[in-house]
Amino acid sequence: MPVSSNYCQSAYNVIEVETAAIANLKQYINETFSQACELLHHSKGKIVVTGMGKSGHIANKIAATLASTGTPAFFVHPGEASHGDLGMIEKGDTVIAISNSGESIEILALYPVLKRLSIPIISLTGNEKSTMAREALFNLSIKVEKEACPLGLAPTSSTTATLVMGDAIAVALLEAKGFTANDFALSHPGGSLGRKLLLRISDIMHSNDDIPTVKNNQTISQALLEVSRKGLGMTAVVDDENTLVGIFTDGDLRRILDARIDIHQTPISQVMTENCVTINEHTLAAEALAVIESKKISGLIVVNEKNNPVGAFNMHDLLRAGVL
């Protein structure tokens, strides 16, 4: 087997060429870019992104980025569009057409139909004099000096530049729309950010009969049985009106064992922790985690506005919910 060339040097060369290609894009962030973003911002329909080959893969990603950052968008394959998928595009939509050469036959075949439907076209091309660029309402240049491929053939720098231009558009629109982290979470409920920003304590807490609860006149041994039955490492202590008056935890148990207290005769009210930390059911799970970590405790009792226990949870519940 022949000795390989220097892999690291090849990688350095690619990074240098593609870094230069990205830096070169700054000159194309101009009035035309602003006008294109303004058109997309005020579009009454969806953003349709299309491209062939490697440009198609990049177009698909750009559409996904737009959709996840507050701009409804989807990808349409230009070849499939000519065979029925064009019906997915409606009046009011805006098309972003991507081709480095600007002469994609499959995309140019769609131009007459799109124009007949009065659908504005924004092209991303590496040739400002190409047919696609000339026939589009706005053309955003993605021109690069050279591809990172030493043969100058495989789309490398050009696809990177296109992806960065797509990100630039998406972020510009995100900021123009005032898109927030909460908005992002709504479109990413399965992701870690979604869980942190959407999940509330009411979604994960133990409620009703699963709440560990004892009366303040019950004995320590009875409280221990309740802690063991409910498996949360704690129990709420309430009075006759079901108002929370304290909490008893595994930590409290260790302390009373050191004090040699008679657990069968002593009421729980004498050893419970009064004025305990509580939380309401509408609190975000991520906020509850912050409370637990700051107080160095393992769980919390959830109370309503009357200070009645309505739930309970511990660190394991947060872990199972994916908040940690």
Q: 253-309 pLDDT, tens per residue?
A: 888 877 778 889 999 999 999 999 999 999 988 889 899 999 999 999 999 999 999
Q: Are residues 174 and 205 in the same domain?
A: no
- Predicted local distance difference test score (pLDDT) of residue 180: 67
Q: Is residue 301 part of a domain?
A: yes
User: Does a structural domain hold residue 187?
Assistant: no
Domain span at residue 66 reads 7-179
User: What order of strands is seen across the sheet that includes strand 278-279?
Assistant: 278-279, 299-303, 309-314
59 and 130 in a single domain? The answer is yes
Tell me the CATH number at 84: 3.40.50.10490
Question: What proportion of the chain, given as a percentage, has pLDDT over 90?
Answer: 70
Q: 1 falls in which pLDDT band (50, 70, 90)?
A: very low
d(CA 319, CA 61): 32
Q: What does the pLDDT read at residue 281?
A: 93
Looking at the structure, tell me whether residues 134 and 259 fall in a common domain.
no
Angle between helices 53-68 and 157-177 (to 10 degrees): 20
Phi-psi region of 208 (alpha: psi -120 to 50; beta: other; left: phi over 0): left
Q: Indicate whether 188 belongs to any domain.
A: no
Q: Within this chain, do residues 257 and 208 fall inside the same structural domain, yes or no?
A: yes
End-to-end CA distance of the chain: 49
**184 within a domain of the structure (yes/no):** no
d(CA 90, CA 23): 36
Residue 250 lies in a domain: yes
Does residue 205 share a domain with residue 110? no
Give the pLDDT confidence of 9-52 residue by residue, as tens digits: 889 999 999 999 999 999 999 999 999 999 999 998 999 999 99
Residues 169 and 240 in one domain: no
> Could you tell me if residue 185 is inside a domain?
no
- 146 and 82 share one domain: yes
Residues 19 and 158 in one domain: yes
Task: Please identify, among 117, 145, 179, the residue that sits at the C-terminal boundary of a domain.
Answer: 179
Q: What is the CATH number of the domain that holds 290?
A: 3.10.580.10
**Is 57 part of a structural domain of the chain?**
yes
Number of domains into which the chain is organized: 2
pLDDT of residue 187: 61
**Are 109 and 214 contained in the same domain?**
no
User: What average pLDDT does the structure give for the chain?
Assistant: 90
Distance set, CA 112 to CA 52, 106, 118, 136, 242 (Å): 18, 12, 10, 11, 73
Domain end (from 124, 147, 179): 179
- Asked if residue 265 and residue 161 are part of one domain, the reply reads no
- From the list 179, 66, 70, the residue with the least C-alpha distance to 122 is 66
pTM, 2 dp: 0.65
Same domain, 142 and 281: no
Among 146, 179, 212, which residue terminates a domain? 179
Classify residue 2: in a domain, yes or no.
no
Residues 6+ apart with CB under 8 A from 141: 28, 125, 126, 128
**162 shares a domain with 92:** yes
Least confident of 87-91, 148-152, 171-175, 274-278: 148-152
* In contact, 24 and 69? CB cutoff 8 Å: no
